[in-house]
Amino acid sequence: MSGGLLVAGTTSDAGKSVVTAGICRWLVRQGVKVAPFKAQNMSLNSFVTREGAEIGRAQAMQAQACRVEPTALMNPVLLKPGGEQSSQVVLLGKPVGELSARGYHGGRQQKLLGTVLDCLAELRGTYDAVICEGAGSPAEINLRRTDIVNMGIARNAGLPVLVVGDIDRGGVFASFFGTVALLSPEDQALVAGFLVNKFRGDVSLLEPGLDMLHGLTGRSTYGVLPFRHGLGIDEEDGLRVSLRGTVRESSVSPPVGEDVLRVAVCAIPLMSNFTDVDALAAEPGVVVRFVDRPEELADADLVVVPGTRGTVRALEWLRERGLADALVRRASEGRPVLGICGGFQILGEHIEDEVESRAGSVDGLGLLPVRVRFAREKTLTRPVGEALGEPVEGYEIHHGVAQVGGGEAFLDGCRVAQTWGTHWHGSLESDGFRRAFLREVAAAAGRRFVPAPDTSFAALREEQLDRLGDLIEQHADTDALWRLIESGAPQGLPFIPPGAPA
């Protein structure tokens, strides 16, 4: 087998990432050597590969679905928003500068097409199949001229396209039809068909609509995936999704001890790698909430200040909302606070930033004896160490360089009483360390909480990926999907007017 596929979507958050991962896991279980690919990703959730390259976490998750190591080839262009109008451009795993949306789409993006195609070609030369993920919608007609991630990559690489639609939002038939009808004849020729995602109810009630869609477009529906809770792993974009009120908790089993443990995560602006708390939420009896008001910290046993692409901006936001004062009170009372990456920097005494915000000298919250200076060179590493008597692995993605002037050593940061800080993302995925940390938190909070002795975050992640593979295997037309990946889009697909505007 030698082939590829582009998984596009009618909208952002239609389910492209999880469908791509599901197809990858289904293929690898069939003995296919497969790799994921996303030409351009916009996300604040990123990961560091073993060679020290920064890519989107979604692609790292998809690589895990393929049972291969993630590399920069799998996500050659990563855009990390720094606000509404600009993003840091990460090319082949390394930052190359900041660009406005107009500057990027006005010329820089198209110049990256050659690099993107070279990466895809290298993957296709190494693997039996490459499953590509699009971005947003392929029918964004205002951006088609410079597109390198949807139909631009499909046309240049000759990839068949499967369009995913989220039926839970409503209007999926109109979205499918309209997506095809707004593409040029050349682009339409590559759109093989559709995949319905997040369906609730009796599929037989949907079948008349699918038949009519086929009659209108000449294209088949390759499957109807049922709605499943708990599959939104490694979300791409914390800007589009409001996390206010979101609760993550283990649904596997009740608490081992007598109490639950409540974790409040400050939903700071430009929050990055909020997936760090997924390992906490995987523990039976741990309830994780994203909060934005000081009163919501009152009953929390642990408060997490997560990473951010805007440390100074997040610090200002905490002060404006009264959360900064609430954090200071917590620390003075010996109640647990954990700062990760940007959150760690916020908890320190002083920040010198002429790189990210260009704000110059800014006072931090003063909860940890740490001074931070932002360097132009970004730290991208995969450290290994020990804390609380347990081995720990993590990854670092930051411009801030921390000078620790006291406290008790904690990973690369420090601890003062029950205030903890580190630059290490992903450390809580180390099971022994996570359990030891939660025991400390429970003791400080006076909770009779006991971590489960056998929770394996890696095993839970594998179970989630297998569930995605099961969805494809059980609810998609895998024979037709196989032919599509191997042979490309069917010949003679009809043109649906009006097509793309001139």
Residues taking part in catalysis: 341, 425
Q: How far apart are CA 172 and CA 107, in angstroms?
A: 33
Pairing relationship of beta strands 384-387 and 390-393 according to DSSP bridges: antiparallel
Cβ-contact 343, 307 below 8 angstroms? yes
Give me the phi and psi of 75, to 5 degrees please.
-150, 75
Label residues 173-186 b or e (16+ Cβ within 10 Å = b). bebbbebbbbbbee
Q: Residue holding tokens 């939420």?
A: 281
Q: What is the DSSP letter of 487?
A: H
Give me the phi and psi of 59, to 5 degrees please.
-70, -35
Query: Of 38, 197, 19, 162, whose CA–CA distance to 484 is shortest?
Result: 162
Q: How far apart are CA 481 and CA 321, in angstroms?
A: 50
Q: How far apart are CA 291 and CA 53, in angstroms?
A: 32
Cβ-contact 394, 368 below 8 angstroms? no
Structure tokens, 166: 């989220």
Structure tokens, 123: 């993957």
Cβ-contact 43, 37 below 8 angstroms? no
Question: In Å, how far from its chain's centre is CA 467?
Answer: 18
Q: Whole-angstrom distance between the N-terminal and C-terminal Cα of the chain?
A: 38
Q: Is 254 exposed, middle or buried (0-12, 13-18, 19+ CB in 10 A)?
A: exposed
Cβ-contact 405, 436 below 8 angstroms? no
- Tell me the sheet residues that pair with 351: 362, 372
Q: How far apart are CA 219 and CA 255, in angstroms?
A: 49
Cβ-contact 231, 468 below 8 angstroms? yes
